[in-house]
């Protein structure tokens, strides 16, 4: 029994330490991400489980010998580390608020936000639902089968002239689908009266760039054309996404109404009025001179996404948000974790710096201390605070878009 207890606590201590201080370096990036992501966002559950395991073992078997003592010490260290991880997650509230105040001003919210956390949702993070929201599954937005389907979320009463939010999933452009990410955000914004849509898009290696972005633009065009059927207005459309989806969201926001990217639907309006990329990929060509980015540029993944005949650097820059920053970019709210093991936080900082230097619209940036990649997939202390901030930003962008430009001075 002591051996099993010691092994459990040793594993938990390693996970807790990695969540607090992730193992650096490319070879370890994927296992570091998976271990750190779940441990960080489920830290309250793991803290309780660790404390319960240590208490139960002690009550049932006592402390006999070195293995029990070491196991209890490991449990104590794990609880301490997990407590620090939880505090890091709680810090997202101030980090997001500071980012939005800095970019939008102190009055960016119309109403105060209830500071209480939804403890029932946090206790059961994988049970994501909202009885006030209807989900319409697998609506085709373009010909081509299951990779051209969207799920639509709307409030049961089909509100009139709703704004639209389009969600783009991640998965390194090669995997995943519309069911895997941002469900809490879709449910929240739909409950607030937005029409929300999450799409599939073509995946590499079968599809190569710019097929992914063209599909996104097809979805934007479809949503504008069919908005009224779901109680929405085509006038305001925001886009969001995480990782590869963050990259596509940024590209959609920075390449509006490009004929070469919307052959066959050139007259459709594919502009975007606000963009919220989470832990996105922004530099495809290594222009930021970040070592981890340069390694990714030379990787097999980029050749899969861009095609084996892609020319460097021109074809890489054609797919790079960093290379498409423009003065008339819509308002951005960029969100990234300081402990992201898959996409370096320095890449987000560089992208934000360039956006702020060139764009005439506000650029908010929240850097979340201790957050891993994909921190927002299910409800957690951190993701709840971020979701509230995203909702506030989107509602600010909607109000700002309704103000006549002349009135802005």
Q: Which residues are catalytic?
A: 243, 340, 373
Q: Which residue's entry shows tokens 């299910």?
A: 378
**pLDDT of 295 above 90:** yes
Beta strands 149-155 and 133-140 are antiparallel
Structure tokens at 49: 């489980």
Q: Helix (H, G, I), strand (E, B), or coil: what is residue 165?
A: strand
Vertex 109 angle, CA 105 and 113, to 5°: 135
Q: What is the pLDDT of residues 240-278, one digit of tens each?
A: 999 999 999 999 999 999 999 999 999 999 999 999 999
How much is the pLDDT for 409? Answer: 33
Distance in angstroms (rounded) separating the CA atoms of residues 347 and 344:
6
369: Cβ–Cβ under 8 A, 6 or more apart, which residues?
88, 91, 95, 338, 339
- Provide, rounded to the nearest whole percent, the portion of the chain with pLDDT above 90: 90
How much is the pLDDT for 408? Answer: 35
Weakest mean pLDDT among 25-29, 186-190, 205-209, 255-259: 25-29
Question: The CATH number of 92-408 is which of 3.20.20.210, 3.40.50.1820, 3.20.20.70, 3.40.50.720?
Answer: 3.40.50.1820
- Provide, rounded to the nearest whole percent, the portion of the chain with pLDDT above 70: 97
Q: What is the DSSP string of 96-118?
A: HHHHHHHHH-TT--SSPPP----
**pLDDT of 58 above 90:** yes
pTM: 0.96
How much is the pLDDT for 404? Answer: 57
- The secondary structure element, H or E, covering residue 5 is helix 2-20
* Mean pLDDT within 377-384: 98
Vertex 379 angle, CA 350 and 16, to 5°: 75
At 403, the pLDDT band (50, 70, 90 cuts) reads low
Distance in angstroms (rounded) separating the CA atoms of residues 74 and 68:
10
* Mean pLDDT within 392-406: 83
How much is the pLDDT for 407? Answer: 39
Query: Helix, strand, coil proportions of the chain in percent (round to 5)?
Result: 50, 15, 35
For the chain, the domains span 2-90, 92-408
At 75, the pLDDT band (50, 70, 90 cuts) reads very high
């Amino acid at each position: 029994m002591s051996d099993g207890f010691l092994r459990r606590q040793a594993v938990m201590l390693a996970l807790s330490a990695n969540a607090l201080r992730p193992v650096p370096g490319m070879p370890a990036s994927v296992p570091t991400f998976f271990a750190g992501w779940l441990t960080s966002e489920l830290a309250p559950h793991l803290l309780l489980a660790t404390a319960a395991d240590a208490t139960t073992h002690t009550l049932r078997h006592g402390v006999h010998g070195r293995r029990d003592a070491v196991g209890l010490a490991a449990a104590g260290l794990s609880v301490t580390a997990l407590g620090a991880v939880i505090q890091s997650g709680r810090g997202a509230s101030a980090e997001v608020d500071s980012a939005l105040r800095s970019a939008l001003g102190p009055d960016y919210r119309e109403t105060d936000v209830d500071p209480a956390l939804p403890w029932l949702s946090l206790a059961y993070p994988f049970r994501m639902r909202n009885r006030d929201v209807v989900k319409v599954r697998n609506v085709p937005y373009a010909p081509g089968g299951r990779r051209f389907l969207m799920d639509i979320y709307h409030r049961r009463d089909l509100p009139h002239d709703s704004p639209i939010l389009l969600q783009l999933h991640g998965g390194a452009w090669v995997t995943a689908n519309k069911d895997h990410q941002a469900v809490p955000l879709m449910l929240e914004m739909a409950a607030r009266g937005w029409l929300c849509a999450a799409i599939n898009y073509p995946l590499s290696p079968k599809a190569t760039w710019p097929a992914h972005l063209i599909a996104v633009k097809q979805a934007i065009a479809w949503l504008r054309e069919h908005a009224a059927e779901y109680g929405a207005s085509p006038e305001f459309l925001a886009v969001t996404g995480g990782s590869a989806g963050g990259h596509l969201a940024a590209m959609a926001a920075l390449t509006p109404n490009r004929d070469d990217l919307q052959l066959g639907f050139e007259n459709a309006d594919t502009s975007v009025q606000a963009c919220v990329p989470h832990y996105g990929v922004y530099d495809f060509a290594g222009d930021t001179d970040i070592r981890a980015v340069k390694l990714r540029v030379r990787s097999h993944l980029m050749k899969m996404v861009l095609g084996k005949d892609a020319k460097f650097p021109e074809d890489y820059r054609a797919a790079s948000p960093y290379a498409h920053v423009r003065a008339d970019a819509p308002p951005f709210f960029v969100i990234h974790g300081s402990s992201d093991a898959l996409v370096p936080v320095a890449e987000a900082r560089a992208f934000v710096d360039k956006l702020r230097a060139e764009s005439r619209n506000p650029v908010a940036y929240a850097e979340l201390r201790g957050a891993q990649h994909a921190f927002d997939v299910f409800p957690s202390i951190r993701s709840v605070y971020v979701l509230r901030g995203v909702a506030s930003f989107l509602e600010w962008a909607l109000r700002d878009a309704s103000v006549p430009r002349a009135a802005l001075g």
